[in-house]
Amino acid sequence: MSKTWEHYHHAARHHEQAAYHFNEAAKYDEAEEREKAAHHAYLAHGHNQLAIQHDAEAAKLRAGQADSAATAATERAADKKSAA
C-alpha cells in the first residue's frame, strides 16, 4: 500500500468522523445541551484538522512522484539525443 494512498484513506476517514461529530453537535445544540454540543464541535474540528494534514501530505507525495517521473522522462530524452 503506497504512502499516498494511506494518507488519502486516513483523510477520508477523518472527514467522515468530522461530519459525524458536526451532526452530533448540531443535534445537541438543538436540544440546548451546550456542553455536549461544544464537545462534539471540538472533536469535529480536530478530525477536520487531521484530515487537512493527511490531504496535504498526500499532495506532497503526489507532487514528488510527478517530479521524479518528469525528471526521469527528461533524462531519457537527453540520453536519446546524446546517443543520436
pLDDT single digits (tens) 72-82: 666 776 666 66
Quick: pLDDT tens for 10-64: 999 999 999 999 999 999 999 999 999 999 999 999 999 999 999 999 999 999 8
Is the pLDDT higher at 66 or at 82? 66
Closest CA to 40 of 53, 29, 54: 29
Which pLDDT value is given to residue 17? 98
Report the interhelical angle of 3-30 vs 34-83 (nearest 10°).
160
Which among 37, 44, 4, 42 has a CA at the least distance from the CA of 20? 44
User: Higher pLDDT residue, 69 or 9?
Assistant: 9
- What is the helix (H) or strand (E) element at residue 7, kind and residue range? helix 3-30
Query: Which pTM does this prediction carry?
Result: 0.73
Residue 19 has a pLDDT of 97
